[in-house]
Structure 1
Amino acid sequence: MKIAALSDIHGNLAALDAVLDDARNETVDLIVNLGDILSGALYPAQTADRLMALGLPTIKGNHERQLLAGDPSRMGASDRFAYRALRDDQLAWLRDLPATLRPVEDVLLVHGTPSSDLDYFLETVTASGCRVATRAEVESRAGDAQATLVLCGHTHLQRSLKLEDGRLIVNPGSVGLPAYEDEHPFAHRMEAGSAHARYAIVTKHASGWDVRFKAVEYDWNEAARVAASNNRPEWARALLTGYC
């Protein structure tokens, strides 16, 4: 079994198409989508149409939950932009997505952790910033999740950790946004360090799962131009550089 894990597309259609093409060349058995699909400054409606047609196993992220609340005055800029661009059928598609999913035996899809779409799984945020989570922290967040492979997103950073009991936790990074700033629970930055679209190939062997992280080129200059034209200069900077 070979799985392509995609997450945090954020309406970046060009990055999504580049990753899908790359995954096809990898001859994967399954492509999964870990949420935060449309919110941003680029192409939410067009990205929704592409994904709705593909029918990939897909879960909600925190941004889906936030924009489905349906009150633009209370939304952040990324959710508000997507909400105003989406048709009723696209919103209905988002509404029907589960928060977690088991697409095949022994594989669990979550956005943040099994219990939260906002908590980080493989990183820990403190008043001093963001650091790699300890094994004990990851074990606690994994809880009793019954899966040999847990795929998560949310932090936009490629990282994996094998737990003592053999479970593998994998974050494939972000397809569509390589850097962002956040205030939850303390101010911090998440930066991939380059403009590439990122995803992961996870393969099951007789001895268990292994992961290979991928970084794919696409026209990020055009994506940054669109973000700037939509009055999101911080997005343009992140898309061009991978830094905030």
Structure 2
Amino acid sequence: MKLAVISDIHGNIFALDAVLHDIEKHRVDCVVNLGDIFSGGLCPAETAQRLLPLNFPTIKGNHERQLLEMQPEKMGLSDSHAYQHLRPEHWDWLRKIPAELTLHDEILMVHGVPGNDSVYLLEEVTGTNVRASSSERISKYIEHQSASLILCGHTHIPRSLNLGSGCLIVNPGSVGLQAYDDDQPYYHKMESGSPHARYAILEKYGDKWSVAFQKVVYNWEEAAKVALANNRPDWVNALKTGRM
């Protein structure tokens, strides 16, 4: 089995198109999408139009949940932009996406951790520092899971961890936004360090999974121009450098 894993597109149609083109070279059996699809400063409707016909196994991220649950006047800039541009058919599709999904009885798709799309799984925020999660912390979140492969997103940082139990956890990184800051639970920055679109290729040999992280060149200068035109100057440096 061979699959491509994408996550955290955040309305970046420029990066998404480049990633989908790159995936074609790998002849995968399946492409899966881990959420945070539309919200941001770029092109939510165009992103929806590109994805809907492809019918990838897809889950909600925290931003999809917020779009569906929050009152528009309480939304942040990223969700508000998506809310204003998504069309009725996009909303119909969005409402049908599950929060989590299990494929082939062995692949668990979550955005954050099982049961919570807002918690980092492979990273931990302590004060203003971000560090790799300990195996002990991770095990507490997945102790009731039997999957051989757990796919997560949310942090935008490509990372994998093989647990002693034989389970592989993979965050493919972000297709569309290579840096951001957040004030929960403490102020911190997440930075991939380059503007490349990220995704991962997973392949199973026997009973073992392997992961290859992919970095894709795309027109991030054009994406930054669109962000600026959409009154999101805070996205420009993140898109062009992968740094805040």
Question: In which range does the TM-score fall when normalised by the shorter chain?
Answer: over 0.9
Instruction: Give the 3 Å change call, closer, same or farther, for CA 160–21 of structure 1 in structure 2.
Output: same
Report the counterpart of residue 83 of structure 1 in structure 2: 83
Cα RMSD of the aligned pairs, angstroms, is 0.9
Query: How many equivalent residue pairs?
Result: 244
Query: Which residue identity lines up with residue 175 of structure 1 in the other structure?
Result: V
Report the counterpart of residue 205 of structure 2 in structure 1. Answer: 205
In structure 2, the partner of 1:162 is 162
The aligned amino acid for 2:166 is G
Question: TM-score, normalised to structure 2's length?
Answer: 0.98
Deviation at 1:159, TM superposition (A): 0.2
1:219 aligns with 2:196: no
Separation (CA, whole Å) in 2 of partners of 1:9 and 1:62:
13
Alignment-mate amino acid for residue 59 of structure 2:
I
Partner of 1:98: 98
Aligned pair 1:54/2:54, yes or no? yes
Q: TM-score, normalised by structure 1?
A: 0.98
The farther-off stretch of 30-39 and 120-129 is 120-129
Following superposition, the deviation at residue 128 of structure 1 comes to 3.3
Superposed CA deviations along residues 177-232 of structure 1, whole A, max 9, x for unmatched, are 00000011110000000000000001100140010000000000000000011111
Q: Which residue of 2 aligns with 1:181?
A: 181
Counterpart secondary structure, 1:189:
strand
Aligned to 1:127: 127
How many percent of aligned residue pairs carry the same amino acid?
Answer: 54
Paired letter, 1:97: I
Distance in 1 of aligned mates of 2:241 and 2:107: 33
Shift of 1:140: 1.2
The more displaced of 124-133 and 149-158 is 124-133
Deviation at 1:103, TM superposition (A): 2.6
2:43 aligned partner: 43
SS of structure 2 residue aligned to 1:102: strand
Letter in 2 for 1:241: T
Q: Which residue of 2 aligns with 1:32?
A: 32
**Distance (whole Å) between structure 2 residues aligned to residue 195 and residue 100 of structure 1:** 28
Residue in 2 aligned with 1:63?
63
> Where do 5+ consecutive residues of structure 1 fail to align?
none
Give the Cα separation in 2 of the matches to 1:130 and 1:71: 31
Separation of aligned partners in 2, 1:86 and 1:103: 28
Counterpart of 1:214 in structure 2: which amino acid? Q
Deviations 1:15-54, CA, capped at 9 Å, x for gaps = 0111111111011111000000000111100101111110
- Report SS of the residue matched to 2:159: strand
- Partner amino acid, structure 2, of 1:114: P
Cα deviation for residue 70 of structure 1 reads 4.8
Partner Cα separation in structure 2 for residue 182 and residue 41 of structure 1: 16
Change (3 A) 1:232 1:5: same
Q: Which amino acid in the other structure matches residue 240 of structure 2? A: L
1:26 is aligned with what amino acid? H
